[in-house]
Amino acid sequence: MGLVIPGHTIFFLIIRSTASDEEDAGTAFFCWYVLAALLQEWILLYACQHLVHCQWSMGIDPDSAAVPYLTALGDLCGTGLLTIVFAVLSILPF
């Protein structure tokens, strides 16, 4: 969880400085974006904890079996949360 904010900050600043059409991405977007990233990370860590315990109890090696599920969940959550961020920013006057 401690790497989410610095990692996404660096990513955001690189995108903002290299893509000329993204220079108007402001503080409001960044705050909502980081909030969504933190929520996604929390969801993935929570799911991982329960998925690994469940797979161990069924005799499945979670090192190779949990990764596809968590990757798919991360893609689904990330896409959904980013869609919500854009919807919120289109509704709220910033």
Tell me the average pLDDT across 10-32. Answer: 82
Phi and psi at residue 83, to the nearest 5°: -65, -40
Query: Given CA atoms 79, 81, 85, 90 in this order, what sign does their dihedral have?
Result: positive
Condensed to tens digits (0 to 9), the pLDDT of residues 27-75 reads 888 999 999 999 999 999 999 999 999 999 999 999 889 999 999 999 9
Who contacts 78 (Cβ-Cβ below 8 Å, separation ≥6)?
Answer: 36, 40
For the chain, the structural domain boundaries read: 4-20+27-91
Q: Return the pLDDT at 16.
A: 83
d(CA 32, CA 88): 9
d(CA 87, CA 80): 11
The more confidently predicted of residues 22 and 20 is 20
Q: What is the pTM of this model?
A: 0.84
22 confidence band (pLDDT: 50, 70, 90): low
How much of the chain is in helix, strand and coil states, percent to nearest 5? Answer: 85, 0, 15
Residue 47 and residue 40: Cα distance in Å, rounded? 11
Structural tokens at position 89: 């920013």
